[in-house]
Amino acid sequence: KNFVKQFSLFEILLTIVILGIHIQASLADAYTFPNYWFKRDDAYYYFKVAQNITEGYGSTFDGINLTNGYHPLWMLICIPIFALARFDVILPLRVLLVVIALMQATTAVLLYRLIKKHLSHAVAVLAATFWSFNFYIHQTVYQMGLETPIAALAIVYLIYKLSQFEETWRTEKVNLKQIAWLGFLSAIVMFSRLDLIFLAVIIGVWILFRGTPIRYLLPLDILIIFISMTSSVILRVGFSAYNTTYASSAVEATVIAVIVKTLSLYFFGAYQHPRANSILKNVINIFYATIISSAITAGIYLLLLQIGVGENFPRSAFALDFGISLLLFTALRLTFHLFTNPGIRQAETPLVQFKSNIKTWFNEGLAFYGVLGGLLIIYILFNHLAFGTSSPVSGQIKRWWGTLPNSAYDRPTSDWLSYFLIDSKGGGAWEPFTDVFWYMSNFIYLIVPSKDARNEHFYTALFLVLFIFLVLLLLKKTWSLRVITRLGFIPLIAGSGIQLLSYTATAYGGAKEWYWVSQMILLTLGFSLLTHLILKPLQKIKVASRLLEVAVLIIAVYYAYNFNRVVSIVMVRDYFPPDRAYMEVVAYIEENTPPGSVIGMTGGGNVGYLLKDRIIVNMDGLINSYEYFQALKDGEAPIYLHEHGVTILFANPRLLLIPPYYGQFAPYLVRYSSYGGKDLLYLLEEPKY
């Protein structure tokens, strides 16, 4: 009884609707699961590895090659579920669908509570409804079977706990146990998706430097330095040369710049309260801090080049970096100046502040980063001992792909829109929210036609909305700053931005739409805040406020009804024959290969999971061993596969002629059957020529 009372009527109804729709879907025909719901091949890498772990084959996709090509927390969740696969391979998919629905409902309820507390009930209902029933979010986060549900839940729960922490630290003494617990929650976020390590680290900065301007400025400064240094190199050499030659050196220079520039900004007073000095004095301090730190960064990197540690780097990029970072550092502090209290006229000098806070910062930093870093070190050591490499092999392979010219797989960023992961065709980091700006750009085109209308008008729409948003925030700047703080906007912006650039600025080949969970959460909160600011005048009028509540509930019912209608159409019952093959390609392979065959295949996640009495060995390396990755790079993949029992390949032979395969398989192959653009080929022990 007490447990039920913790939930509002809306939360209960929302949970019932989400679970009801998904339980109904979980009872659908077996054929619908691999063909209409869990369609993403990558998800089956998790499923098959989890099944193999429970059956005693270790962390392997094929029962042969040890692999760590996955995010650990989702694998831990999958393991008990896919123990059921020994009885029926579809049964764990049914269970997983419901488990994911529970995560979805929990995330939606937490978003509702967070937004209701700091904004309004009407906006909270809209946000929770949007998150629960938006088709893009559902397909990307909850319908693929990948790690995104636990990542979304972990991030939202961390923001929820940070919001509570914001309420308590101002009135109560904070103990190290609280800091360590937040460090543990940040580690959970990190292990849900390993690239969320940037958000986890930034959360520590946000917590440690509470009560000072540092917490607002430092996270965004790190993001600025990342943007400035990498974009300076791109402006100097172009995207193609950057990806093939300069990406690694740009990242090395960025790491140096983060350390040098933030220290310089601190000791030149750029982290003092912006009202402590005049605007001119602040700008002068920023100028000196930036020019000196830029010179030191350049000097350190050039010295590393001389001693053979660094790599090629265009020296003129340091000058560009100085200009870009100076502009952005100044703009950030002027914006912060607008939001702060004019009554502040004095502040501690950087040295005095450092001396008075260093003990607290050190102890709390040890508590937070000791937990976060300690768990990360354990993970790295385990991977190194168990798999021979400290990080997931899948990420290493995709970064390798990005450095290859004309790769068969996804290629790295090649223009400024893709550098910031904005994609007019969908799948970018900011979906589905960028749809608003693309619609606006089409409307602007009707008024002002231009040659490159889509991109130009997109930026126009984007900056127009941002300008209106900024004006509305400044009209209630004290309240706005409080809400921005309570909802964790600063760490979310910095963490999401750095995570994004960790792909686009590192020549990563193959960033996918499901990577961007924190960006979806950030923009859900951001558009909720914007909606609240727009609707706030109406909420002050009693009749209008009531009508707004009714309208919001009608919208929620419509979204839920429409979502249920589509799911019911897709996940049908008693429509497909029970004996129908789960996938046609699976039936084809079973008909054309003998039982016990070990078959090499590019991709092959769903086939490997659903295939009976045969083994699929992954050829692209994403869910294979580190040793296979090295063999693939060395041109010895055919030999490696044959030594590990592979006698048949199912692949497109034309694909195997280009990078990353470089034709190394061609001398070993004899075709004997074809299906769907791929051939069944014998893998010979000795080359034909």
570 near 37, Cβ under 8 Å?
Answer: yes
| Partner residues linked to 648 by β-bridges | 599, 682
- Count of CB atoms within 10 A of residue 410's CB? 13
Q: Is residue 607 included in any domain, yes or no?
A: yes
d(CA 401, CA 284): 44
Residue 10 vs residues 27, 105, 126: alpha-carbon distances, Å: 26, 12, 11
Q: Is residue 656 included in any domain, yes or no?
A: yes
Q: Is residue 364 included in any domain, yes or no?
A: no
Residue 551 vs residues 185, 545, 555: alpha-carbon distances, Å: 37, 10, 6
The SS3 of residue 675 is strand
Q: How many domains does the chain have?
A: 1
Q: Is residue 531 included in any domain, yes or no?
A: no
Which residues make Cβ contacts (< 8 Å) with residue 670, sequence separation at least 6?
681, 682, 684, 688
Q: How far is CA 260 from the centre of its chain?
A: 27
The SS3 of residue 38 is coil
| Partner residues linked to 679 by β-bridges | 651, 674
Note the pLDDT of residue 660.
Answer: 94
Note the pLDDT of residue 651.
Answer: 95
Block means of pLDDT (10 residues each) for the chain, length 689 residues?
A: 76 97 97 96 97 97 96 98 96 98 98 96 97 96 97 98 94 94 98 98 97 95 97 95 91 96 96 89 96 96 85 90 97 93 75 93 97 98 96 93 85 86 72 84 73 70 90 93 96 97 90 94 97 90 90 96 97 94 96 96 95 96 96 96 96 94 95 94 92
Kindly report the pTM of this predicted structure. Answer: 0.94
Cis amide prior to 432 (ω within 30 degrees): yes
Q: Name the DSSP class of 595.
A: T
Note the pLDDT of residue 3.
Answer: 61
Alpha helix positions (H), 423-476: 434-447, 453-475
Note the pLDDT of residue 643.
Answer: 95
d(CA 248, CA 230): 10
Strands (E), 218-365: none
| Partner residues linked to 651 by β-bridges | 679
Number of alpha carbons in the 13 Å side-chain half-sphere of residue 155:
35
d(CA 490, CA 420): 18
128 near 120, Cβ under 8 Å?
Answer: no
Which residues make Cβ contacts (< 8 Å) with residue 98, sequence separation at least 6?
19, 22, 23, 26
d(CA 627, CA 387): 9
Buried b (16+ CB within 10 A) or exposed e, 193-202: bbbbbbbbbb
Cβ-based burial of 501 (10 A; exposed 0-12, middle 13-18, buried ≥19): buried
519 near 429, Cβ under 8 Å?
Answer: yes
Note the pLDDT of residue 418.
Answer: 86
Per the structure, the complete domain to which residue 601 belongs is given by 584-683
d(CA 391, CA 399): 12
C-alpha distance across the termini of the chain, in Å: 76
d(CA 206, CA 222): 13
Q: Is residue 170 included in any domain, yes or no?
A: no
Which residues make Cβ contacts (< 8 Å) with residue 564, sequence separation at least 6?
17, 21
Q: Is residue 150 included in any domain, yes or no?
A: no
Q: Is residue 637 included in any domain, yes or no?
A: yes
Q: Is residue 65 included in any domain, yes or no?
A: no
d(CA 157, CA 165): 12
- Count of CB atoms within 10 A of residue 148's CB? 27
